[in-house]
Amino acid sequence: MTEARRLIITGLVQGVGFRYAMLAQARLLGVNGWVRNRRDGSVEAMVAGSAGQVEAMLEWSRRGPSGAAVDDVMVETASGDYTDFELRPTA
């Protein structure tokens, strides 16, 4: 069964390769969805997959890549049907 979560990640998460690292991690784990920067300095993502895949992405999101300093990850239950993981334009 597929689960989906919408994430808002705050802290030092822009300008550190967060989106590209998340793309690589999602593809490694087989997670679908998307990631984008937001104008307020946060990163927004939609992650979808099995419960284990989604939990692994949540754990990764709380750390991020080596240059990031994550303060908080807001998680909401979501829905959607995604076939890949992609980068989206800033919103």
User: Phi/psi at 2 (nearest 5 deg)?
Assistant: -90, 135
Give the Å distances, CA to CA, from 64 to 4, 40, 70, 74.
19, 18, 7, 14
What residues are annotated to the active site? Answer: 19, 37
With residue 35 as reference, give the H or E element that holds it: strand 32-37
User: Phi/psi at 26 (nearest 5 deg)?
Assistant: -65, -45
